[in-house]
Amino acid sequence: MMLKEELEREYMRSGHMGCPGCGVATTLRLVLKVLGERTIVVIIPGCHAVISANYPNSVLKVPCFHSAFEIAAPTAAGISNALKIRGEEGINVLAVAGDGGTFDIGLQSLSGAADRNEDFIYLCLDNEAYMNTGIQSSSSTPEKVWTMTTPGGRKGRKKNLMQIIAGHRMPYAATVTMGKPLDLMEKIEKAKNIRGTKFIHALVPCPTGWRMAENLSAKSAMLAVESKLFPLYELIDGINFRITHEPQGIPVKEYIKIQGRYRHFTDSDVEALQKQVDEEWERLVEKAKSCI
Amino acid sequence: MDYIKITIEDIKPMSPFSQGSTEIFLTGQWSSRKPLYVEKTSPCRVGCPVGNDISRAFYLASKGDLDGALKVFREENPLPGVCGRVCYHPCESLCNRKEFDSSINIRGFERFLADNGRMNIAEEMAKTRKKERVAIVGSGPAGLSAAYHLVRLGFPVTVFEAMAEPGGMLMYGIPAYRLPRDVLKREIDYIKALGVEIKTNTRIGKDIDLASLKREYQALFISVGAHKAQGIGVEGEDLSGVMDGIGFLRDVHLGKRIRLNRRVIVVGGGNTAIDCARVARRKGAKEVTIIYRRSMTEMPALKEDIEWAQREGVKIMVLTAPKRIVGTENKVSSIECIRMELGEPDGTGRPRPIPISGSEFVLPADVVISAVGQSPDLGFLDDSGISITKRGVIETSFVTGTNVDGIFAGGDSSGNKAYVADAIASGKMGAFAIKCYLEGEDVQKEVEKYRIMDGSSISFGHILSPETHKADLRSTVPYEKLNTLCFQREKREDNPEILKPYRAVRGFGETVGSLNREGMDREIKRCFKCGTCTQCDLCFLLCPDISIVKNEDGYGTKKDYCKGCSICATSCPRNVIEIGGTI
Ligand SMILES: Cc1cc2nc3c(=O)[nH]c(=O)nc-3n(C[C@H](O)[C@H](O)[C@H](O)COP(=O)(O)OP(=O)(O)OC[C@H]3O[C@@H](n4cnc5c(N)ncnc54)[C@H](O)[C@@H]3O)c2cc1C
Ligand code: SF4
Ligand code: SF4
Ligand code: SF4
Ligand code: SF4
């Protein structure tokens, strides 16, 4: 449980340029609440870069370093090592990247850093497309979903990133979403206290790119969890799975029907998606069972 | 940032460096829509005739403040221990949780608090003492409620009661296996401790006449109940062995020697009939049969009580009506019955029972108890000028006023729905109407200020402590407005059975027990707390624009930065936030 003061402290400022209802802003804000003042943030191109600074003004109340698109992880690793060389203790280094910067462009460098088990937290803000450049599809975009570059719907399924992460046997990895803020904050608290590479996969609703009413952004994240489409779990050492939230199991249709990017889905598309979701969930439950 | 030994000079040559704050951008100007925190009335409260602020009580209990929760109930209800046991709990029928898994055990909660919470009498006493005196005739739930609320409003109150003990039907009607008398006495003692004077053994019309009461008191509230048994209206009713239900229950309570060792027929389908049958079993009757002329669904008695009666061995014959009571040597020997079928709805909205000719049959019987209805005994009002309706009850307006200035009436004697909670509601309304009358205020207007939705009750919390009662009484929370994605399905905790039926019929011990602490905690957690802000922080945590601030008594909005996205309002589990302004 977080202390009241921890809950109330803020390391993000109002007045940023995020769209109304922006999920990136809330997610980053929640993460920083837990990490606290002694944190250095590495930012690469993505929505969060647009939000976090508007030269010469900064949204963050902690130091922040803007790096290149493909090197969020090694930049954070470098800073982390530099701090160690200087004898600085207890400073969290947080690399923040979008799905583009993680699933596609930064994957190789993340893999390298994770392989060396560098000491930092990697936060992937996954809004399932390149949103700030105008909604182009990434390898995180779900199958058949509309983006500007996939007007007829994307071909191929969303990359299963957590499987790739698992292969690196990192000490800690977890899925989170702003829709379940307490779960998110508890996981960040854990990550903060583990040495080595920690990976946080955050599903981040984007009202603009998901073609969704802005008031529904948090609710869509809750729907993703409660429909089992985005299960919340932890992954210790790449092998031990622990489900952290038991979903209500509502139909996945509830999640997709509020988003314009799914508007063209036919009944059979919905059915196929539901089947996929159920199967993935069963697989996860199996894995979690064998890990207790 | 002084813990990092990097100066701007170290960085400057490398890259640009932002030091300013984005707070110079008043992004709140992007939209004129802003959130408003408005607590609302929970549907359970709308359903409760007494108007208990259930959601608020659950909220306080969830913070561990059981005494505070009891205080919330007592704000509206002088008899939570009684209602927590015998109320027909219409609150639960409107409970939002019913749409999600199953309704909350609200009655069990009320009982738990009454049995376990503590009240500080000194704190509850009225701070002022007004000079106008009020007399109340009858100490049933209606009279006790009027007295309780009047004394809290500062008026000296005297209750006149014909019987030796106060409580009305709670004392002389409802049997102890459903309502132990120490529970009732404790609640009446509490009312007395607040300053209500109860004069027992004083029948108005006999010991004191109404006119002299009128001279001595500035206002009267009449709540004499309905104690005159209606006959079944068939041949043979004067035979020995035929008794009226109310009289039977009263005699049992008074400890008169009654033994029924053989076959008892009870005529009727309400609370009185069920209780007469269950008491008959306890008084030795081997075979007890209830005959009721409509079907099971129309039976006015509570489903759970009907089930208890059946499990205690009471037989129920529906669609059956008495035709004639047959006797030998002036003593009941059998009852002739006739089968009925249901026709079109009658004036009460229930289907009319129609006899099926030629379907007569005979049931052997040693005792016949008639429990087909009661009417008020209003003889003492004869010269008062108070008008009585055709149905034989006191004619009153919505706010309990009679046609005579300064005389108000409520409960069963003014034709109220014959339940404890409705009697209490009319007592509350009476107390408030009397206050307005004595202080020269416009009753209708005042009532509308405190009325709970369009119901029969008003919120005494809002009347007595407006500073702490801010919930909007004119808006409620429909299920669709809750964000149920924040909850998980959970099993309902019912009150435990503490006596098995075969043991229960051996005495008058209470059959249903209180929830234990663990069960209660699960129900407390399960309640959504519709319309009440539980300070769960969800709105605060979800705001992308860091525009919700926590302050001492809740939350505020930074209008300069709120972009009006409405995430806070849409996500609130309890529908507390509204979005104001225009787009
Ligand atoms: C057997 C039985 C079981 C019931 N079970 C339930 C139940 O489970 N749930 C439920 O909600 N309701 C139940 N009820 C109904 C409920 O008890 C009544 O609706 C309620 O008590 C009515 O309250 P009241 O204050 O109007 O009248 P009463 O409770 O009848 O009280 C009237 C009082 O006025 C006194 N009085 C009468 N005339 C005079 C006079 N001239 N001067 C002075 N005093 C006078 C009477 O002695 C009595 O004490 C039951 C009723 C009965 C009979
Ligand atoms: S008095 Fe009856 S309706 Fe009101 S809260 Fe209690 S049980 Fe529910
Ligand atoms: S969930 Fe709780 S607050 Fe809501 S209606 Fe039911 S009892 Fe009342
Ligand atoms: S989200 Fe929680 S804290 Fe905010 S208004 Fe609703 S109940 Fe209160
Ligand atoms: S969530 Fe924040 S920005 Fe959105 S309407 Fe509420 S206060 Fe305003």
From the CA of B86, the nearest ligand is 1
The whole-number average pLDDT for the span B314-339 is 95
Among A117-121, A285-289, B259-263, B473-477, which stretch is predicted with the lowest mean pLDDT?
A: B259-263
Query: Over 80: is that where the pLDDT of B44 sits?
Result: yes
Cβ–Cβ below 8 Å for B565 and A217? yes
Interchain pair A14, B538: CB under 8 A? no
**Mean pLDDT, rounded, of chain B:** 93
Question: Residues of chain B with pLDDT > 70: what percent?
Answer: 97
Q: What is the pLDDT, as a whole number, of residue A246?
A: 95
In this structure, are residues B106 and B62 in contact, taking their beta carbons and an 8 Å threshold?
Answer: no
Min CA distance, A275 vs chain B (Å)? 22
pLDDT of B14 higher than 70: no
* Confidence class for position A148, pLDDT limits 50, 70, 90: very high
Residues with CB under 6 A from ligand 3: B 42-44, 54-55, 58, 95-97, 104, 106, 527-530
Nearest CA to ligand 4 atom 8: B533
Which residues on adjacent β-strands are paired with residue B432? none
Residue span of the structural domain in which A193 resides: 3-290
Read off the pLDDT band of A50 (50, 70, 90): confident
Q: Residue A199: its pLDDT value, please?
A: 98
Q: Is B453 in the pocket of ligand 4 (CB under 6 A)?
A: no
Token representation of residue A269: 């598309």
Query: In this complex, do A248 and B485 lie within 8 Å of one another by their Cβ atoms?
Result: yes
**pLDDT at residue number A272:** 96
Atom of ligand 2 nearest to the CA of B77: 1
Name the token pair of B33.
Answer: 């829509």
Q: What is the pLDDT of residues B276-312, one digit of tens each?
A: 999 999 999 999 999 999 999 999 999 999 999 999 9
The two three-digit tokens of residue A131, written as one number: 């949103």
> pTM score, two decimals?
0.94
Say yes or no: CB of residue B62 within 6 Å of ligand 4.
no
- Beta-carbon contacts of B203 under 8 Å, excluding residues fewer than 6 positions away, are B160, B162, B380
- How high is the pLDDT of residue B215? 95
Q: Whose CA is nearest to atom 13 of ligand 1?
A: B419
Rounded to two decimals, the ipTM of the complex is 0.95
> Best residue in A7, A10, A14 to probe B by mutation, most B CBs within 10 Å?
A14
Calculate how far, in angstroms, residue B391's C-alpha sits from the geometric centre of ligand 3. Answer: 37
What count of Cα atoms within 13 Å lies in the side-chain half-sphere of residue B356?
A: 12
Instruction: Return all residues near B466 (Cβ < 8 A) that are at least 6 apart.
Output: none
Residues with Cβ within 8 Å of residue B130, at least 6 apart in sequence: B153, B154, B155, B156, B438
Cα–Cα distance, B45 to B476 (Å, whole number): 9
How many angstroms separate the alpha carbon of residue B60 from the centre of ligand 3? 14
Q: What pLDDT sits at residue B3?
A: 60
From B159, B224, B369, the mutation candidate for ligand 1 (largest count of ligand atoms within 8 A of CB) is: B224
CA distances from A166 to A171, A282, B99, B105, B196 (A): 10, 18, 40, 46, 73
According to the model, what pLDDT value does residue B25 have?
Answer: 85
Of residues B240, B507, B241, B247, the one with CA closest to residue B371: B247
The Å distance, Cα B545 to ligand 5 centre, comes to 7
For the domain that residue A67 is a member of, what is the CATH number?
Answer: 3.40.50.970
Is A216 within 8 Å of B541 when comparing Cβ atoms?
no
**How far is B465 from B532, CA to CA, in rounded Å?**
17
Which pLDDT belongs to residue B535? 94
- The per-residue pLDDT for B126 is 86
* Number of folded domains that form chain A: 1
pLDDT band at residue B583 under the 50/70/90 scheme: very low
- Residues of B with CB below 8 A from A63's CB? 1, 4
Least CB–CB distance from B22: residue in A10, A13, A63: A13
pLDDT tens per residue across span A85-123: 999 989 999 999 999 999 999 999 999 999 999 999 999
